[in-house]
Amino acid sequence: MRHEDETRTVILGVAASDSHVVANHLIAHALRAEGFHVVNLGTCTTVDEFADAHREYPWAEAVIIGSLNGHAYEDLQDLPAARAAGLLSCPVVLGGNLSVGSRKDTGDIDRLYALGVDVILADPDRLPATLDALRERRNAGSVVTPTTVS
């Protein structure tokens, strides 16, 4: 087990109803190449499993959730309770295809923020910079506000 002072740690997984694994592995590989310790929970990961991982790695900088099947909102219904109970106190970053259908609506993003998602990431290449920005805000004592990163 690594300690927070040694390596930056993130928890990564794919939303509960989603078994798309390729992007998950590519993101894990890219983050490891950037020096991160990636706790990769793989596919079909429930909010409870993310919370269990955060309990094991309380120094983790973020929980990163991918969703390609468009059911992120349904899969994250337990997120408000986990956040309220302090089980997921680090930022939650969500990316991928976040709603079903070809027409996207800003209401879909608003609903995800209302569940407790902190960052919605449109481009996975922006993930390391996003994690850097979240770390800087935390170190400065700033509150993380919901953000969409293109």
Query: Is residue 31 predicted with pLDDT exceeding 90?
Result: yes
The answer to the question of residue 4 being in a domain is no
Q: Report the sign of the C-alpha dihedral through residues 89, 93, 97, 98, in that order.
A: positive
Task: Give residue 102's pLDDT band: very low, low, confident or very high (50, 70, 90).
Answer: low
Q: What is the mean pLDDT of the chain?
A: 91
Write the CATH number for 86: 3.40.50.280
Q: What is the pLDDT of residues 7-24, one digit of tens each?
A: 899 999 999 999 999 999
Looking up tokens 């989603």 gives: 18
How many structural domains is the chain composed of? 1
The answer to the question of residue 100 being in a domain is yes
Q: Can you give the pTM of this predicted structure?
A: 0.91
Order of all β-strands in the sheet with 37-40: 37-40, 9-14, 62-67, 92-96, 119-121, 147-149
The answer to the question of residue 21 being in a domain is yes
The answer to the question of residue 2 being in a domain is no
Extract the tokens encoding 90. 């680090």
The answer to the question of residue 56 being in a domain is yes
Structural domain containing residue 25: 9-149
Extract the tokens encoding 47. 């909010």
The answer to the question of residue 3 being in a domain is no
